[in-house]
Chain A
Amino acid sequence: MDGRMTHKTYHRNKTVTIFFLCSLVLLALAGRLLYLMVFQSEYYTQKARELHERERSIKAARGRIIDANGKILADNKTVCTVSVIHSQITDADEVVEVLSKELDLSEEYVRKRVEKYSSIEKIRSNVDKAIGDDIRAKGLDGVKVDEDYKRYYPYDSLASKALGFTGGDNQGIIGLEVVYEEYLKGEPGTILTVTDAKGVEQAEEGEERVEPISGRDLYISLDINIQSYATQLAKQAMETKEADRVSILVMNPQNGEILAMVDVPEFDLNNPYTLPSGMDASAFSEEKRQELLNAMWRNGCINDTYEPGSTFKIVTAAAGLESGAVKTTDTFNCPGFIMVEDRKIRCHKAGGHGTENFVQGTMNSCNPVFITVGQRIGVERYYSYFRQFGLLDKTGIDLPGEAGTIMHKMENIGPVELATISFGQSFQITPIQLATTAASIVNGGRRITPHFAVRAVLADGTDSQFFTYPVRHNVVSDETSATMRYILEQVVAEGSGKNGAVEGYRVGGKTATSQTLPRGSGKYIASFLGFAPADNPQVLALAIIHNPQGTYYGGQIAAPVVKQLFENILPYLEEKSYNRT
């Protein structure tokens, strides 16, 4: 065979050996494949899915805020977000033309985004629904119009400081919006889409949707009619008295439900970042601007403290009566001043009130009478009543940032401090604290928690969750409470608060005029706290006018505000309760 080797048996055997060796190895690899594709399949499938899936969230509709009459105070407006998906665009020029025209954007701006290779490019958000619908109706390939929610307040500035507003992600920033965030926000849904490595959605892979759960509607005790009227009165008082600020609180003293909370000037909830008119935002630094905004959003009824002045005599009187330090029939003599240690503290009536009993002393708002009562009670007992009335704690109102009471430490209260506290000076409390304490004293001695929220209800109207608030009983006895109602009714009927009287209704109340610190600045705070009906209080109102010009006596400028309010809302509330029963 011309020098060639012949084909021998061992050659064949070895070829067969190679085949079997290869078969063995391939079998082993098939085993490896089995391991990867059956036993490890779940692991790698999960990993691959994480790699391929993109999650987009669907916003949940925020719960509405609804007043006592069912009027919607905070609602959602549907707005649109217009985006383009590069890979789906078929006619780029038309898309650029339509979008720039409809959205009022430059062609250049739109073209840059249309031509960018990305999974999805946002062109504009917060687009009016009508415009969004128009664009969608044109049916352009690659143009996506997503609906979104934007918070909307139908009454603009009404109750702005109580309601609060939401930020860019629809999250509460201040007010009830932030306190009830958990109820209002709902549960966002998700869209899971499959994308390629560059993030381009793979339409044929479909999408998985988890629907969002809308937030709960929050029903609050605030009454739009009372709030509107109180706001009107506050604005009027602010204008006529050229005051800095006017606050009006209206609450149900029986259960602490707040019917109105006004603190003018208020701000526009739909444009909460616009400074008050007359202020040019560009003139301020970023820091200063934020400071001004914070001041604008500040709720004077709960965030700020003030010296209450004579309205605090309600507390002194209640403590005096409860402790037995004073009786209504006790007589006092006011020469126009009283000596405390070596200091002469004057009564507001220069000539003095002469001889008067305790009821008359209260009607006259006589300082020497209350200083005497304070002295009779004594520092420790007086202080323990403060604690019992809840004056030293916060009220627990369902609004953020409530300020605490600024009171002397007990060991620091000397005779002079005791005297000034007796008629409401040298310490500070919030308006809501004063109103709540007064309410507890006249409602039979139940320390209630002031609040707005009544119930939170699912969007479909089912599953009402009622809110409950702590009530502390017997902070004063029934008897003391009844006496206080009688005395305060006398104050309005014939005393210093007679400008608060409303024909046909029994009104109780107390006036106050306090000079702001520093003394001698010529700035005053005039206030009046009234409640009706005096024998069974259903509504309690506190009006505070900060720095009025001209006449500054609470009895003359604040009492008429509450009087007008009561004239209007007492018949209204009667009608409402009649309708309810």
Chain B
Amino acid sequence: MDYSLLFIVLFLVGFGMVMVFSSSSYEANLELGDSTSYLRQQLFASILGLVAMIVVSNIPYHFWERFAMLAYVGSIVLILLIIPFGHTSGGATRWLYIAGVSLQVAEVAKLGMIVFLANLICKMGKGIQSNKGFMIVLALAGVVAALIYLITNNLSSAIIVMAIAILMLFVSCPDYKRFFMMGFIVLVLAAAMIFYVVQSAEAHVDDLDFRGARILAWLDPEAYASDTGFQTLQALYAIGSGGVLGKGLGQSMQKRGFLPEAQNDMIFSIICEELGLFGGIAVIVMFLLLIWRLMIIANNAPDLYGALLVVGVMGHIAVQVILNIAVVTNTIPNTGISLPFISYGGSSVMFLLIEIGLVLSVAKGIRLKDL
């Protein structure tokens, strides 16, 4: 058992619970008459996730190879099931109800993509280095990402699924050139998109969709304070007013109705408000430690399959943390994305813990002298 990883993860889950309670209790008490309402649901999902993690960590990871295809097809089927059976919350249809438990299918798809690609890449052998193999992997991931984006209208999850695939490809191919090019193309597209939106706004084109509006709000949140920029601006108030040392745990003002659903995607801003710059940096350092630990495990994995599983998990967590903090600090346009282990959300924490279970299983195969 890799106790360093376990400790880091348990710490993050525990800290997340404290912050979910701190950020949700005021509103929960007013709206639901029970300040622990969100905490209890998070606790339940976390316990479930920890049990699943322990179970998974005790299963040799090669056991999952045979389910690679099932993981891929299953993800797609689950996403498609959203169309007839999807549950809507907060204006987005992203959940399936299974036996009374709501499940965010995108979380399943992220895990599915890791399990599927690790196997596929290993099976393809040197074929992955050819352009054909490269494109096949991208295309297969692209299908899932596109479905997530089109059906659940969840751009951030789609981005994460693609990012997981690209990072796993990156590790399995010896070259850098294609990845530089991809990175370059993404940057150019992003710049073109921003340029287009700004031009349209200046030309008073009113039919910008909400993503266009979010780009404008990103560039100048105070100009859109009452609508698109509202959440971002409230998060900035929370972060900025935290200062170096913060207002103290539980002392956030912004969670008292100013920042809506403070326990969700914007929880990092409440951490900053209550625990200050030190708290915010400590959380970043904690995630950095986690990623470092995942890298160590990946690089000492007994085989490539194990390494790729860990790289997938590492990419998932790293990309999600980076995107979340970037959104909360208004470094990139607002897109709904949660902070791993800390944000409120049962599916997210449960599937992340299952992923950690996979990593722990891989770590078990490492002989002590390798570390």
Using a CB–CB cutoff of 8 Å, the interface residues on chain A facing chain B are 1, 3-8, 10-12, 14-19, 22-23, 25-26, 29-30, 32-34, 36-38, 40-41, 43-45, 47-49, 51-52, 194, 196-198, 202, 205
Contact = CB atoms under 8 A, between A and B. Distances in A.
Contacts of B254: 48
Given A40-B240, A197-B258, A33 B122 contact: no
Contacts of A37: 239-240, 242-244, 272, 276-277, 280
Interface in B301-324: 301-305, 307, 311, 314-315, 318, 321-322
Contacts, number: 145
Given A17-B170, A36-B239, 19 more contacts: A3-B123, A4-B122, A7-B301, A14-B171, A15-B307, A16-B295, A18-B170, A22-B288, A26-B288, A29-B322, A29-B326, A33-B325, A36-B236, A37-B239, A37-B242, A41-B240, A44-B236, A51-B258, A196-B257
Nearest to A37: B277
Contact of A18 (B125, B280, B311, B325): B311
Contacts of B167: 18
B287 interface: yes
Contacts of B122: 3-5
Nearest to A42: B240
B59 to A, nearest CB: 19
Interface string B227-249: 00000000011111111100000
A194 B258 CA distance: 13
Interface of B: 26, 121-123, 125-126, 167, 170-172, 174, 236-244, 253-254, 256-258, 272, 276-277, 280-281, 284, 287-288, 291-292, 295, 298-299, 301-305, 307, 311, 314-315, 318, 321-322, 325-326, 329, 331
A537 B122 CA distance: 122
Nearest to B233: A47
Nearest to A33: B280
B300 to A, nearest CB: 9
B299 A44 contact: no
A18 B241 contact: no
B240 A45 contact: yes
Contacts of A18: 167, 170-171, 295, 311, 314-315, 318
Contacts of A4: 122, 303-305
Contacts of B318: 18, 22
B174 A10 contact: yes
Nearest to B311: A15
Contacts of B240: 36-37, 40-41, 43-45, 47-48
Nearest to A29: B325
A44 B237 contact: yes
A18 B304 CA distance: 16
Nearest to A12: B299
B329 A196 contact: no
Contacts of A30: 280-281, 284
Contact of A3 (B26, B125, B242, B295): B125
A30 B328 CA distance: 12
A32 B242 CA distance: 14
B238 A48 contact: yes
Given A19-B295, A47-B240, A202 B256 contact: yes
B315 A33 contact: no
A18 B122 CA distance: 20
Contact of A51 (B170, B237, B321, B331): B237
Nearest to B257: A197
